[in-house]
Amino acid sequence: MRKYRDLIIQVVFVIVCGVCWQLYAKSRNLMGFPSLDVIFNRLVYCFTNERRPILQYLFNSILSILKGLGIGALLALIFSSLSVSSHVFGILYNLVVSVFDLLPGVALLPILMITIGANDTSILVLVIHSVVWPMSRNLIDGFRTTPQIYVESGRNLGLNIAGMVFGIYIPSSFASILSGVKVGWARAWRGLISAEMIFGAAQSAGIGVFINNARTVWIDYPAVYAAIVLVIVVGVIVEYGIFLQIEKATIRKWGMVR
C-alpha cells in the first residue's frame, strides 16, 4: 500500500503542475511559453517528420553517453581499486579527485575546443570527466567503509588485488557504488546536452543540437519544449526503470537500505 501511496502522490503532483502550466500558458498566450497540448502536438510532429528526426538525435545522445559512462566507470573502478591497494597512489588520487570533481564540465569546453576541436571526441571526454570523478569518490568512500574483518579474511585467503576488489570491496560497498553510478549518470547526461548545445557541429548530432537548432535555426519554441520533455522522460526511465530496479534487486533485498 505504501508503494501505491507514494506513486499516487507523485502522479497527483505531476497533474497539479501540468494544470498550473496549462492555465498559465492559456491565460498569457506567450510564444515562448506554449501550452501542453501544443508541446505534445509538436513532439508527435518531430517523431514523424523526416526533416527533424528527433529520435535520431536522441539515439546519438544515448550512444554517446553509453560510451562515456562505460569508459568513465571502468577508469573509476581501476583507479579506485589501485587507491585502496597502494597508500601513495591513494593519497595522490584523492588529491586528483578533489580537484577535478569540483571543476564543472562546461569550464573545460573552451580547452577541449582548442585542443581537440568541436567534435565527438570532445563530447566523449566531457562525459567521461562528468562520470569518473564522482564515481571514484563514491567508490573510494565505499571501499574505505568495508569492515576490516572482511578485508583481513580476504588477505588470509590469499586474494590478489582483483580478488579483493571483486570479492570483498565491491559486494560490501555496492550501495555506494550504485549511488556513484547514479550521480555520474546525472552529471554526464547534463554535461552531454550542454556540450551538444554549445558546439553541436560534431559528426553525430545529439538532442542538444536539436534543442539549439529549434531555438536558433527553426525558431520553433514548442519543439524546444518537446525535446526537453523527451530528455526528462529518458531521465525518468533510467532512474525508475533501471536504477530503481537494480536497487530493489540488490541493496534493498540485502537489507542494506530501507
Amino acid at the residue 29? N
Outline where 116-240 has alpha helix (H).
Answer: 120-144, 148-156, 161-164, 170-172, 174-198, 207-216, 221-236
In this prediction, residue 17 has a pLDDT band, given cuts at 50, 70 and 90, of very high
Residues of the chain with pLDDT > 70: what percent?
94
Q: How high is the pLDDT of residue 95?
A: 93
**Contacts with 55 (C-beta within 8 Å, 6 or more apart), sequence order:** 47
The average pLDDT across 80-108 equals: 88
Domain ranges of the chain: 1-30, 34-249
Q: What is the CATH number of domain 34-249?
A: 1.10.3720.10
How far is it, in rounded angstroms, from Cα 223 to Cα 46?
Answer: 8
Of residues 58 and 201, more confidently modeled: 58
Q: Is the pLDDT of residue 258 over 80?
A: no
Q: How high is the pLDDT of residue 253?
A: 67
The average pLDDT across 85-96 equals: 90
pLDDT, tens digit (0-9, with 9 covering 90-100), for 119-137: 888 888 988 998 999 899 9
How far is it, in rounded angstroms, from Cα 180 to Cα 160?
Answer: 25
Cα within 13 Å of Cα(145), Cβ side = 13
Q: How high is the pLDDT of residue 3?
A: 67
How far is it, in rounded angstroms, from Cα 200 to Cα 194?
Answer: 9
Cα separations in angstroms, 205 against 45, 91, 227, 233: 19, 40, 14, 19
Q: How high is the pLDDT of residue 86?
A: 86
Q: What does DSSP assign to residue 239? A: I
Q: Is the pLDDT of residue 16 over 80?
A: yes
**Contacts with 134 (C-beta within 8 Å, 6 or more apart), sequence order:** 101, 180, 183, 184, 187
Q: What is the mean pLDDT of the chain?
A: 86
pLDDT, tens digit (0-9, with 9 covering 90-100), for 138-176: 888 888 888 888 888 888 888 888 888 888 888 888 888
Q: How high is the pLDDT of residue 203?
A: 57
Phi, psi of 33 (to 5 degrees): -135, 75
Cα separations in angstroms, 6 against 10, 124, 236: 6, 37, 16
Q: Does the predicted model carry a pTM greater than 0.85?
A: no
How far is it, in rounded angstroms, from Cα 57 to Cα 49?
Answer: 13
Residues of the chain with pLDDT > 90: what percent?
27
**Contacts with 45 (C-beta within 8 Å, 6 or more apart), sequence order:** 52
How far is it, in rounded angstroms, from Cα 238 to Cα 218?
Answer: 30
Task: Kindly report the number of other CB atoms within 10 A of residue 45's CB atom.
Answer: 15
pLDDT, tens digit (0-9, with 9 covering 90-100), for 216-257: 888 889 999 999 999 999 988 998 889 888 888 877 766 665
Amino acid at the residue 182? K
